Structure 1
Amino acid sequence: MKTLQVKNQWDMSRFFIHICGFLLLLEWVRPLIGITNVGRLDIFVIFIGICFTLSFFQTKWQIPIKVVTILFIIHSLYYKNAFINPSWLTTFFSDLSQNASLFFQGNLLDISPVFPTFLFFLSFWFLSSFISFWMIHKKRGLLFLILTIIYISTFHNLHLYNSNYAIIRTVVIGFFMLSLLQIERIKESEQLQNYARHLTKLLRPLAIFIVLSTTIAYFTPKFGPQWTNPMNFLKFKTSEVNEKPKVSKIGYGLDDSQLGGPFEADHTIVFTAQTQNKQYWRVETKDFYTGKGWEVSEKPKKISFKNKNDVMSWYEQNIKMETTAAMITMQKSYPHLIYPAGLVSVEATSDISYSVDPFSEKIYTMNGDSSTTLNSYKVTYETPQFSIENLKAVKPNEGHETSSYFRTKYTQLPESLPQRVKDLAVNLTNDKDNRYDKVLAIENYLTDNSFVYETINVMVPAKNQDYVDQFLFDTKKGYCNNFSTSMIVLLRSASIPARWVKGYTEGTLDNTLGDSVYKIANNNAHSWVEVYFPGYGWIPFEPTKGFTNPYHFINNAPASTSQNSEVINSNNEQMQQRNNEAKLKSLIENTEEVSTKKITNSKKEFSWWYVFLSTIPMSIIGYILFTTRMKWLTFFMILFYKYRKGDAVYPKAYDALLKQFARIGIPRNESQTLREYALRIDTLYSSTDMQQLTLSYENAMYQKEQGAAEWNKSVQLWEALMKKAASMPKSIDFDAVI
């Protein structure tokens, strides 16, 4: 014989079991923070919470809700079209197909983040369903607790996660969960109807045991990782491994936060450019050096322009410039422009606009509000001439340098930068009396014979080792990322504003394609340096050994010859092939990496305390809504039916009333007639309301034309019965009223 009191106790027990399942599954998410390239793991915590919430409320449409939630989150992270626009789904399924192919080919470095994100969603969906089945239906939780402990311990012993306190949390949560499940099993086997007074006796020794064991575990010495770290080989996390690391292919990519490691050449053509001038082709800049690589210090921002670039400028008023044009034909599809510095305008199809992030200077191609790609386009740009004499005359702390924000942004260095790097910068520049000579001294130092251009035997810094420090003092071997990053760090150590630029070199001239047509391949992916000179703007420099700066630097000083000027660093006829450059890991996609990093602070890690604390009020609100569901469901049902007209209303409203009584534990038996059931209800309430309503309902059913009239006469009676059901005392034993 069941009572509502027992039912509510069961709901509370289920509530805490679901909370325990959620917290245990949360322990599966934590170790992934440091080893996955999926930018935001909090989205999986939210998804897991939704899964357990749906399980607790026993929602009928769980699968559609979960599918829509997954698609909505993936769309908000990786796609720009409106969610209700089905075109993004075509792109999404195409991405899944391509990434699945790369996955089965073993080409893991080229997989885009959308694929592992989708797999994580499926994995946590399965795990949450697995937990709900075994804990709620089978009332068994030991298996999942053991799996969780093995999972955490494995990550700990592989040096991937410090699980000292995670194990303690897991055991505490697990003991509490197992105790609840054991109580439920005892209740069912002994057919206990009122076990509240026994619950305290059962939980008291359990609480004492958990507190004592947790205290002992907290203060007991703990073993460190016991196995060799396999990530030394798999992820190139240290320069001291003996195994030969996996070699990736060169190509433009998004993630520059972990530079280093070997690569192999890739001759795939990215685009061709028909132009009379050789120059580097830009994609974006980055300003925040982390000690391991580069990031953008500001949150992404989008500023639109149609054809004329009125957002960005690179050169200032003192530079002599000449306007020219180039025709770009893309061989690979990217949702952004590849463009030269000094860009004035872009000509493409009429319905194309451009959205630029002024902090990274990345220009996205847009068709309305959606991202798109261009097959070909024409760029008009200004080619500069840099006067060496004028650059030597530049005074610091003028122009943009009067802004403390600007100086802080472009002279930023991590606090962990070794002192010997700063000392080297001082030694290279302290005898120079102008900025240009200081920059040239650092550039010449890196092109000296002591440094070697190398693409294969290139190490990744160890965990506590700085990327630049390793290159300058230990290996002295590397490619463009090593040289360019080292020059910028040395410049900033000398208080000279500088930034990191990535894109492509000018490529290889191919007259078979037409007049002055250059082929630019993945091999031409490159990074270089831009230094700020007040009054002149951002001036490019090339520190990578074997590469020549394609921009014109002229000397205006008088010479003994008849010429008044000579080209110092002009187009070099013996320009080397740009093969084997740049360690760049993955194909470009239309994604924005939202950085919460501030200029003077290191990146802030995601705080799980916020997630944990936010689940408490959410769980309380959810439980309150669940326990009071009869009242607010009744309100909405009355509102839905009361003011409706027509013959079809009465049958639906009467059926809703029957469901209302069934919901509180008074279902109608299959063998009962409506009049017998109405008598049962009226006996319970000591009234005749249900019998009167049933007679009216039968009249409406037998005389179809009287349906609307009967409903109008009985709607108040129906409303009163709905409210009576919603306010039924919890202590009433319904089974006794048979």
Structure 2
Amino acid sequence: MKTDYGWEDVATLILYVLSFFLLWEWLRPVEQITETANVHFFIIFAGLSLLLYYFELNWIISGAIKAMFILVVLQYLYFDVPFFGEGEWFGELTALVGESVVLTVQQNWSGVSDLFRSLLFFVLLWLTAYLMHYWLAVRKQMFLFYLFTVVYITILDTFSPYDGSMAIVRVILFGFMLMGLLGLQRMADHERITLSMGQLQKWLIPLAALIAFSSAAAYAAPKSEPIWPDPVPFLTSFSDGSGVGSGGVNRLGYGVDDSELGGSFVGDETKVFEATVQGEQYWRIETKDTYTGKGWEQSREAESLTPFSVNEAVPLTLSAIDEESETQTVSVDVDLTYNHLVYPYAPDQVINGEADELRYNPVSDKVTSYEDGDLVELSEYEWEFREPRYSLQALRNTTGLGENAGSMEQYLQLPENVPERIRELSLDITESEDNWYDKAKAVEGYFSRSGFVYEQEDVPVPEGNEDYVDQFLFETQRGYCDNYSTAMVVMLRSIDIPARWVKGYTGGEVLENLGDGRSIYEVTNNNAHSWVEVFFPEIGWVPFEPTVSFSNNISLNYDLDLDTDDDTTETPEPAETPEPESPEPLEEDTGAIGQVDEDGSSGTGGWTAFKTFISENRLMLFLVSVLLVAVGTGLYRNRNRWMPYVLIRYYRSQKGSEVYPKAYSSLLKQLRRYGLRRKETQTLRAYAKEVDNFFGTHEMSRLTDQYERILYRSEDPKDKWSNMRELWEDLIKKTTG
């Protein structure tokens, strides 16, 4: 621990304070852009760590102080008992940490406790503070951390709600002062001079004045308009969902532009909402009715939106409702807010929501929320709904539109240049069926029977006049939900069955079973999905799921109405999606978009399993990588401290005439790492005297004399090592300080 302090130490203290302010800028946005609370404890810990490094306390004492601080904070935040007097909390703490470690090993990140997350955050700050201490005290360079801080603030300011206007000003001021003082210290070390108060003033006053003047001038100077277009819309377009087909790589999620489908995509685990409901649902958002050959558009804009209020019947009827069915509720807790509402099939009314008006679009079936006449994003709302009723007899009795022909024209629309072979394939698939329902089921099951593959990567975009569906059906036979759902709609329309394209989310992943029949489902951008609805005159719109490895749970809950005049009623097979011959479906309860290999097996092995693991664990892998890089960087930067002990252990076990020359060369390298560099024109004898003067010994000169005897006089080095080993070890140990 330091005992004597001079003006150099004052300058060093200023450096640590400025470094703390830079580190503080990393912590300021955390509370705003994440769910982390009590950030002030982490800020205090960062300052305490840097202060302990400044006073150069013994690492055992310093570590004990920081560990005790962490323990006290965790006890205060997560246990409602006194720190002293009741010891049960400590056992519970260790149990929670142990359980979270096991869950981490099992890759169950959602089950890790908040206490363990806080502990990991403290450890990360501990490592960061040590790295900053190393950069200040040893390297005397902080430009890399300063650059990362600037990049961090600008990215958050651009892509998050955090306003970095003042943060970037503070970073510039602290960063320039920090690097200016480090420059002064490097020059003082190089010239081997001790800084005085006067020297510090001569450096600090002009530096502070220059920074203040340049900052004020930059703030007051007129600003010209941007020369280049804003890149943010282009970058964020990649997160607009799978409906953006640019030929590049898209990111999963809901988007409004589906005019160009196709292209590969990457997963996105960003949570959209949590739903508390009984049974898994498909979450509907909107429909589109016009197929262009490349994607989907709306045939027209709604003349007006139909308004309704909370606790008022929704002006939306998708299909016949069983009036005797039990009313259910679903609570939606939104993380990624939109101004539209997601809803299950057969919604009755919104029974809770902070909006004074809701509006229904009769063209797209989209429900949006308004407050004082302006669109508003709801953070939570609650639906009341009932299960729809589908009569198998009515479905199989449907062979035409009848009186509804005129109102269904937009759902039979196809471009004039749609290849004829699509219709020929559809007729071939359905030739043995005599009703719409069985024809639709035949088309739905065609993909799983014909070797089509669910694929997220290397999915092409149709070029020129090439049709999107034609390319999928007859050339690639691989793709994701947009390919399958669009293909089924076009195929049904080609044989005069009205159908439309639907967008929304699959059920999601179960987070918790509440014990009363309800569960909490987490729905992420990975659950963004599209499927098909077919119109039956006596029923309404009925959903179908053509995408291989998916099963629409709503389609599995048919209420069969099979009364006939016959004395014997034949019970038909339940109107379920037929079991696919190949491939087998993935786990249904995950709600994630499944992928299957070409051989029909679930993609859990080999390269597919590796890609899935990377996709599902990006955050944890990033944190582990950061920790490994931090540890590796610390070991590399401090190799002059531990490398001598490795060399000592290595050369103790070596024998022979070549040991002494090699050991002497290793000593020269270690001295160079320590900071005692040999000049290019400097002889070994002169360099040895310089080293001895630095350490106050004669060891280097004696070692060099023996080395020159071997080098120039060709003396036998056999006994040199045994005689000089202790001198060599004593000197190389001095470089660990």
TM (normalized to structure 2)? 0.45
TM (normalized to structure 1)? 0.45
Q: RCO higher in 1 or 2 (8 Å CA, sep ≥ 6)?
A: 1
